[in-house]
């Protein structure tokens, strides 16, 4: 087993980066907290773009794809995020554009993570990097649902929440994670049929992900620790 792992690591080559999914998890966590606390202003939306773009860049740059491919993809993401950051910070791009960009970046991170996580599990088994990557996906699910909720609230002709229509982007994120974790404080509740459907979908997604994906990973991680 050890010899096989050594050969697999040797086949990766010296030009291949190591996974840094703990860094991705930290960036996503910082983004989550920032979105809850930040006001709805241009500078805050620009920071959202910067954080989400950085998280995606780290995910792409530290994968074990071939070095030329990895570098091109990482640089492309970084350049695009930087240009949009400047546009949002200077007011050249609207809040709607900033929201759309952040949503796309957030959706791209788990897509990039899944492939890397599967390769990492095949080579090294369940490691702390794998658990960190899986937890990052869980947080990203909550942020993506918050984006969907914000969109529905914007285009709907009626208030999304029974408590009124004066809510911020941070309130959407806060509500999303109370639903995802099935905490349900009750200070914000969906007032429409679409909102109810989204809440049910998010609750099911959060619970099934924790029970299946996270549960299996943690169980296998403990098993590998005992074998050693």
pTM: 0.87
pLDDT attached to residue 4 = 42
Percent of the chain with pLDDT over 70: 87
Kindly report, residue by residue over 170-184, the tens digit of the pLDDT.
Answer: 999 999 999 999 998
8 A C-beta contact, residue 116 and residue 21: yes
Q: All domains of the chain, ordered by start, with CATH?
A: 2-227 (1.10.287.70)
The per-residue pLDDT for 165 is 72
Q: What is the DSSP string of 53-113?
A: HHHHHHHHHTSSS-HHHHHHHHHHHHHHHHHHHHHHHTTSS-HHHHHHHHHHHHHHHHHHH
Q: What is the pLDDT of residues 142-154, one digit of tens each?
A: 999 999 999 999 8
User: Under a CB-based contact definition with an 8 Å cutoff, are residues 176 and 150 in contact?
Assistant: no
Q: What is the mean pLDDT of the chain?
A: 86
Give the pLDDT band (50/70/90) at residue 5: very low
Predicted pLDDT of residue 71: 81
pLDDT band of 208, cuts 50, 70, 90: very high
Q: What angle do CA 51, 57, 58 make, to 5 degrees?
A: 90
* Least confident among 67-76, 96-105, 112-121, 159-168: 67-76
pLDDT of residue 13: 45
Q: Which residues of 196-223 are buried (b: 16+ CB within 10 A; e: fewer)?
A: eebbeebeebbeebbeeeeeebeeebee
Instruction: Spell out a b/e string for 91-129, using b for 16 or more CB atoms within 10 Å of the CB, else e.
Output: eebeeeebbebbbebbebbbebbeebbeebbebeebbeb
């Amino acid at each position: 087993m050890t010899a096989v792992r050594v050969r697999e690591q040797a086949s990766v080559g010296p030009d291949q980066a190591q996974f840094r999914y703990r860094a991705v998890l930290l960036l996503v966590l910082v983004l989550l907290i920032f979105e809850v606390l930040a006001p709805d202003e241009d500078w805050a939306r620009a920071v959202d773009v910067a954080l989400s773009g950085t998280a995606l860049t780290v995910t792409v740059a530290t994968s074990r794809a071939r070095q030329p491919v990895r570098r091109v993809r990482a640089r492309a993401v970084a350049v695009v995020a930087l240009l949009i950051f400047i546009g949002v910070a200077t007011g050249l791009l609207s809040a709607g554009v900033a929201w759309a960009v952040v949503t796309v970046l957030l959706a791209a991170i788990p897509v990039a993570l899944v492939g890397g996580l599967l390769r990492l599990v095949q080579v090294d088994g369940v490691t702390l990097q794998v658990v960190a990557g899986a937890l990052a996906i869980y947080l990203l699910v909550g942020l993506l649902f918050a984006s969907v909720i914000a969109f529905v609230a914007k285009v709907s002709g009626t208030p999304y929440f029974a408590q009124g229509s004066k809510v911020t982007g941070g309130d959407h994120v806060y509500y999303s994670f109370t639903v995802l974790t099935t905490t349900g404080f009750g200070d914000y509740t969906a007032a429409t049929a679409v909102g109810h459907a989204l809440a049910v979908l998010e609750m099911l997604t959060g619970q099934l992900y924790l029970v299946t994906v996270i549960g299996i990973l943690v169980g296998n991680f403990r098993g590998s620790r005992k074998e050693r």
